[in-house]
Amino acid sequence: MSISATDFNFVRDLALTKAAIVLEPGKEYLVESRLTPIARQIGVQDASALVQRLRRGGEAQLQAQVVDALTTNETSWFRDRHPFDALGKFMIPELVEARRATRTISIWSAACSSGQEPYSIAMTLLDVPALAGWNIRITATDLSAEMLARAREGHFSQLEINRGLPATHLVRHFERAGTGWRVNEQLRRMVTFEPHNLLNAPPLGGPFDIVFIRNVLIYFSPATKSEVLAKVRRALRPDGFVVLGGAETSLGIDDQLVRTEIARSSVYRLKR
């Protein structure tokens, strides 16, 4: 049985209210495919029966589980590569010069999913000799409690490892864990994982020198994109960097963030 228009609208409103996720008409198949496993897990017949239970209210944990399921958690190591080239070869060297007094660099990885992005950032920084002895703070956040738990554990299957992780990095930064791999202690110590909704105030750990907020704005309405970027700006140091996804832009959304191309990557800085 396909999910009804009424049930789809209920789920769409829930996703919008709780996570600012915009589910366009035509995404009924997505809602049904994501909710059906949850329905089976809690012992109801199908996605429609799950929605009926949600309508009765009073189940915050079930609501959160549904929103988690609707959040796209597609990710890989060093995704799109260019942002990490820009980080190691251009952004960090500039910040090293600017932060010599404090020898501290703070980075926020927003919507970090299961942790591949912040761990990729950490591996990139360990390849910069000038940062030896510096205080590096990487704050990684996500709306999904399930993804954050996985990220903190740092355990990845062989299939996940194969998605973009160079063999040299596997040898240096991972340990065998059963049939999979686990991030080593040095890398795990560099990253703090915290729950965070992008509609709320920025997480602790700021102001930040660099904010990675990639491939998440595409799921928001223009008004929500503007709201989120305004919060990011307020959490950014005046000479800091914002890294968006390749298909994302601040153009027409936030005129205080100006694009500059670094190593073929879309990097944004505060207007001066």
Residues annotated as catalytic (active site), given as ranges? 34, 142
Rounded-to-integer distance, Cα 164 and Cα 138, Å: 21
Q: Which of 220, 214, 271 is nearest to 248 (CA)?
A: 214
Which residues, other chains included, contact 228 with Cβ-Cβ below 8 Å and sequence gap of 6+?
20, 198, 199, 213, 217, 220
Residues, the chain, total?
272
Rounded-to-integer distance, Cα 269 and Cα 243, Å: 9
Q: Which of 228, 220, 68, 219 is nearest to 150 (CA)?
A: 68
Rounded-to-integer distance, Cα 257 and Cα 114, Å: 28
* Torsion over CA: 8, 13, 19, 24 (sign): positive
